[in-house]
Amino acid sequence: MNPNALNRRSMLTGGTLISLGTMLAACAPHDTTPTGGAATASGAATTNSSSSTGNSAGEYRKADAKGPAQNVPKPNVPEDGYREKTADGIRKTMDAWNQWINYGIQTGDYSKAREFLSSTNDGELKIYREIEELYRRGGWVIDGIQYFKPVGEPWTEDDQTYRLKTRHEWDQETDVEPDGRQETWSSDKQEETYIFALEHRDGRWQILYSQIDV
């Protein structure tokens, strides 16, 4: 496996396309933040607790080589003010979206994560479709949890499109096919910087696109 392998998001937003097919047996330590919100200023992830979903009642269980995550808790509703056209509104929107994408990668359900996107955000929507299709055919994802920590304040040049720089960390993602074949998208937990573009439309923030800050 390539020790410098990029994750799925890097490939779609950074213009890099390489094959990373591998046969791995991956089983990571228990993650206490199953929906992994955007990191706070101290570097810790925000967490939410609510009613659990899954194939059986019980406590959260990470995905492993034997099967998908179980009883993944749904994030709570976004913080008050996330729709406001303010810098704080942008940060709250990003935090809520971050939690829902982590829910999606563990369950194959990106319906809520989509609500934070513009319909023109092709790169992000492609990621969702790929993972949803994997779950539909009986596969699942091991790890793949992501964290976006804001770096500085949002800015705009035209009072229409706002941008926010974030530090992006992710856990190794391994896609497991129904027949047991596995594909790993990154070799270990890594870090890079992204710039997100957002627009306040129809009374809420919508994420237009993201790109690696080079």
pLDDT at 37: 64
DSSP state of 165: E
Residues 6+ apart with CB under 8 A from 108: 131, 132, 134, 135, 136, 140
Residue type, 131: I
Please report the pLDDT score of residue 49 as a whole number: 33
- pLDDT tens string, the chain, 214 residues long: the values are 233 345 777 766 543 322 233 322 332 333 345 776 654 333 333 333 333 336 456 899 999 999 999 999 999 999 999 999 999 999 999 999 999 999 999 999 999 999 999 999 999 999 999 999 999 999 999 999 999 999 999 999 998 999 999 999 888 899 999 999 999 886 555 678 999 999 999 999 999 999 988 7
| Structural domains of the chain, with CATH | 8-15+33-212 (3.10.450.50)
What pLDDT is stored for residue 19 in this prediction? 29
Convert 128-150 to b/e letters by CB count within 10 Å (16 or more is b).
Answer: beebeebbeeebbbbbbbbbbbb
- State both tokens at 193: 């910087």
- Whether the CB-CB separation of 125 and 104 falls below 8 Å is answered with no
pLDDT of residue 54: 65
Tokens 């890099």, residue? 16
Question: What is the model's pLDDT at position 172?
Answer: 86
Please give the model's pTM, rounded to 2 decimal places.
0.79
Q: How confident is the model at residue 213, as a pLDDT?
A: 86
What is the model's pLDDT at position 115?
Answer: 97
